[in-house]
Amino acid sequence: MRPLEDVRIVSLEQYGAGPFASMHLAQLGAEVIKIEDPAAGGDVGRHVPPYAEGGDSLFFESFNRDKSSVVLDIRTPEGREVFHDLVRSADAVFSNLRGDVPEKLGIRYTDLAAVNPRIVCCSLTGFGMTGPRSREPGYDYVLQALAGWMSVTGEPGGAPQKTGLSLVDYSGGFAAAIALLAGVHAARRDGVGTDCDLSLYDTAVSLLTYPGTWHLTAGYEPTRTRHSAHPSLVPFQAFEAADGWLVVGCAKEKFWQRLTVVLDRPELAEDPRFRTFADRARHSEELVALLEEAFRARTVADWLADLYAAAVPCAPVHDVSEALADPHTLERELVAETEHPRFGRVRSLRSPVRVGPPGADTMPARVAPRMGEHTRAVLRGLGYDDDRIAALARSGALGPAEGTGWTPG
């Protein structure tokens, strides 16, 4: 058994952060029942271009493998009754909506405790369910701006830059997954569920980490650094070689001493300007100028061969295709393959979460579900017969059958 095979999650999720969170739990064995609002056309991620057609997209495929999809309008009386039946059978209700929406939809613990006192209601919102911004929609780009990330990303003097990936969304997803599991653990121990109020804003601000501590405690003002240099460790940055770029990092004194040997400049290790971390930080401009001149003299491959041999932390600056083809990526089985009815063979990325012996958590992934694909199966699992399912369909709680991946008949 996979670690979470005894966990059932009912998820009202959409787009990136929420589906990213629950997909990792699904890969660990959790049953994730994804409720899609038929009135809204389901998860908006189904329609994100490019590579989107007919209610499917490769964006959606990236975040929704190993889940079930049910179409259900929980704002209708009939849909609400179905939702409550799902809650009775579940460990958690997970959502990533605007901060004021969980109250409006009645998906907080205070709304559902009478249905299932052990239920954990985990909400990942843009700004949380309290505070002056709680009613605002939150997106990764917006949060990177608000949390100060864009002020420290990019080259000095350039325009504000976001990170190349949606790291607030993904970090928020990981935070929500941790909180949900902690809530389920406590509910099983104590017999009482709870709310988990996660936000992308909290995530983004908390990830300021040590520069934030330096600022709050000592008045440090974080700034952009040239060639992605570490704010205090020198050298630790990207260097241009004769035919490309590489990163070299000396996070320990022994690495600096080894680097001077690789550079054939052992005297630099004893130079009073560069002897210690503090010395090198004070004289960083002089040292980096020397290193930049040295690194330009040889190719990336030549430098890496010597740096690897000397056990100096280093890496080539890969593009995406090189990263995905790296032998270590393949050996770690990070690429998942599924057969999709519309896109054929889809190759995407597995969760980095590993539990158990090698290979235990790399079982074949299930393709992301078509909208409403599992509606009938999930309802039957709740004990609904065909007559009741047909009545739900007539009520509008399941939305129009056309294009939802299931039929009421």
Q: Which residues are CB-neighbours of 282 under 8 A, at least 6 positions away?
A: 273
pLDDT at position 404 is 45
**Tens digits of per-residue pLDDT, 132-175?**
999 999 999 999 999 999 999 999 999 999 999 999 999 999 99
Taken in order 237, 241, 246, 252, the sign of the CA dihedral is negative
Considering just the CA atoms, what is the radius of gyration of the chain in Å?
Answer: 25
Is residue 230 among the annotated active site residues?
Answer: yes
User: How many whole angstroms separate alpha carbon 104 and alpha carbon 6?
Assistant: 30
Residue 167, both tokens: 């790291």
What are the extents of the domains in the chain? Answer: 8-206+331-395, 227-317
CATH of domain 8-206+331-395: 3.40.50.10540
pLDDT at position 360 is 67
pLDDT at position 357 is 81
pLDDT at position 401 is 53
Q: Which residues are CB-neighbours of 133 under 8 A, at least 6 positions away?
A: 99, 126, 127, 201
pLDDT at position 305 is 98
pTM: 0.92
What secondary structure, in 3-state letters, does 270-296 show? CCCCCCCHHHHHHCHHHHHHHHHHHHC
pLDDT at position 179 is 98
Catalytic residue among 47, 84, 227, 230: 230
* 328 φ/ψ sector (left φ>0, alpha ψ -120 to 50, else beta): alpha
- Fold (topology level) of 227-317: formyl-coa transferase, domain 3 (3.30.1540)
Q: Which of 176, 24, 158 is nearest to 97 (CA)?
A: 176
pLDDT at position 409 is 36
* Residue 102 and residue 18 in contact, taking contact as beta carbons nearer than 8 Å: no
Q: Which residues are CB-neighbours of 82 under 8 A, at least 6 positions away?
A: 72, 74, 379, 382, 392, 397
Ranges of the chain whose pLDDT falls below 70: 359-364, 401-409
pLDDT at position 362 is 60
